[in-house]
Structure 1
């Protein structure tokens, strides 16, 4: 199974990087023909930067729109952030000091991550208007993320594996020096789910992660009286 997972993660990583890079390029070149910031909006670029900071870190607009969705969504994303930080120990040697410091927080953040996902998935069954607009892909994405969280918690607290060997395996992948992966069914399931997520991430709704930075309702200044908004393609037409 070592060679299978080595090839799988090389493939998943390549698809993930290429797919996300292309999507970001596509977002960046998509014109914004109108000035449409959601008001009240900042009138300076500094204000826009601060607004984006609040949006990315605190989910400000979601907080104003629906407290329950904000609670589960923010809980999931912040817990996921800590979990990802915790997993950096498998890719660094020696482990960075701040990563080592956050290890206990990342360990229990897995429970918060699962709870947040359960809440987000539950609303797609319990809230009628959300249930009506939910698609199979919405359920599959949440199921995949929840299975990743639960399988990771299972490895940590129920089905222990040789994490030193796991780290050696991933450090070896980074150096193109493939090392044996521990034989552990729980680990296989967890890694398979993670690789699947990496492969489908660039083509799914989960890509809102980088997409939020290209949202014209968030990244534009509210200065239509002072500055004329002119899309590049419109400027080209005027020149002709």
Structure 2
């Protein structure tokens, strides 16, 4: 048990490091990528406040997806909303004592896991049943969905079928935070679940799953439609103009 616990601790440390470093490098690249043109998707706001409101609607309600496809919006929004609840529910494993808002989430967390898997199933079915989506789908698209479904399904197995010692799991996770290795329960669903989560963290920075943080750097969304009011000059072009 001690050897397995050490292996999983090393795996989670490594995957978390890859996740943080990879996302940071990606965001650095987004920040340094020039935006030489004014290309907000119209109708677009003309003020910074309007841009902030538009981004908020996009992040919270998936506004553009709702306008594009109601079925895709339904499955996509269900998955992301349920995922948020599931992640909040898992925060309890890293806190002692647990915050009151996290305690309140626990009662709906298991049902959110079911909704998350159902939303993923709908998104995956779309890649097979809609001709134009099936045509542009790549093997990585299916593998990402398979990985997410497997993570959600293994979590539901631990919740409803093969109950795991969550006290021991919490001791293990708190030990990771404190650099104090604790025994990890040897339940197969838990071991599969943690291995899949580690894999997800490792591939996240190089996958299409980066679309979440990348949204905030999209010029079609974060630009105000002021092309008639003022000249748009990218920061790198402005520096060249000052030098010349």
Same fold (TM over 0.5): yes
Q: Does 1:178 align with 2:181?
A: yes
Deviation string, structure 1 residues 191-235 (Cα, Å, up to 9, x no partner): 000000000000000001100000000000011111211012222
Q: Of 81, 96, 99, which residue of structure 2 is paired with 1:96?
A: 99
Q: Does 1:68 align with 2:68?
A: no
1:55 match: 58
2 CA distance for matches of 1:45 and 1:66? 28
Q: Does 1:24 align with 2:27?
A: yes
Q: Of 230, 234, 238, which residue of structure 2 is paired with 1:231?
A: 234
Q: CA deviation at 1:85?
A: 0.2
Superposed structure 1 runs of 4+ greater than 3 Å apart = none
Partner SS for 1:226? coil
Partner SS for 2:37? coil
In structure 2, runs of 5+ residues without a counterpart are: none
2:132 match: 129
1:41 match: 44
1:208 match: 211
1 CA distance for matches of 2:61 and 2:138? 27
Partner SS for 2:82? helix
Deviation string, structure 1 residues 25-53 (Cα, Å, up to 9, x no partner): 11111110100000111111011000000
Deviation string, structure 1 residues 58-111 (Cα, Å, up to 9, x no partner): 000000000010000000000000000000000000010000001112221000
Give the alignment's TM-score, normalised by structure 1. Answer: 0.99
2 CA distance for matches of 1:210 and 1:129? 26
2 CA distance for matches of 1:127 and 1:35? 33
In structure 1, runs of 5+ residues without a counterpart are: none
Q: CA deviation at 1:23?
A: 0.6
Q: Of 125, 146, 150, which residue of structure 2 is paired with 1:147?
A: 150
Over aligned residue pairs, what C-alpha RMSD do you find? 0.7
Count of aligned pairs: 240
